[in-house]
Structure 1
């Protein structure tokens, strides 16, 4: 027997909310992220049709970072960026985690900085030696 259903203004699908909050450009991308396990609702993996309500905690993994937000409002439709920012608040731990990751990336060397064009004859000989064994 299904539980009591909330009025439409108090809950919405998690994929719709993620799209309305502008975490994903398309609703299908939000659905794929939820199906792929990159979105957790209150610490548990969910399906795209799962209802989200005010006060829920959502962990969203985008690229190499995880954003943790608390739902403060519900929206069925996508609005401007200003409206989207009012739908959630990011947790302090999430802000600190993203800032430290940003600082680490700023200090690390860019991949491929040592590469300058085509390999020289000496480089090719070393590559051949490594490939042979």
Structure 2
């Protein structure tokens, strides 16, 4: 049992991110770390970094940026309820993520998903650009 405790003390960051279910595979966790999507104290991390209890990490997955504090260490990937006990997300991070999700849901990022423009919109576009479009 003592050796198991020592192994959990010496966990790699990519393995911990995988065990905490931030990424589906260790390879994805390692790639995310190497591409600069995981920061500790504002600096990029390496996959071999050993997280300690109390460390804060900023993890970017897709549109979301989470700031999490390490609560426990594990090298074993278990179910989601157990994995959530490994970290605690800061309140500021939760609020920021929810606000960003609401903005995306409202469509206020300026991205139009209406498809191609209508005939009138196309004419207005040509007029705006100064092109004369005569078919």
Q: TM-score, normalised by structure 1?
A: 0.79
Task: Note the aligned Cα RMSD (angstroms).
Answer: 2.8
1:116-127 maps to which residues of 2 (within 5 A)? Answer: 123=122
Between Structure 1 and Structure 2, which shows a larger proportion of strand residues? 1
For residues 118 and 67 of structure 1, what CA distance do their matches in structure 2 show?
Answer: 37
**Which segments of 5 or more consecutive residues in structure 1 lack a partner in the other structure?**
1-5
Deviations 1:7-46 (A, max 9, x none): 3222310000000000001110000000001001233211
In the alignment, structure 1 residue 91 sits paired with structure 2 residue 90: yes
In the alignment, structure 1 residue 31 sits paired with structure 2 residue 30: yes
Residue aligning to 1:111: 112
For residues 70 and 10 of structure 2, what CA distance do their matches in structure 1 show?
Answer: 11
Q: How many residues align?
A: 126
Q: TM-score, normalised by structure 2?
A: 0.78
Between Structure 1 and Structure 2, which shows a larger proportion of helix residues? 2
For residues 42 and 70 of structure 2, what CA distance do their matches in structure 1 show?
Answer: 14
**Which segments of 5 or more consecutive residues in structure 2 lack a partner in the other structure?**
none
Residue aligning to 1:65: 64
1:76 aligns to what SS in structure 2?
coil
For residues 94 and 11 of structure 1, what CA distance do their matches in structure 2 show?
Answer: 27
For residues 104 and 35 of structure 1, what CA distance do their matches in structure 2 show?
Answer: 29
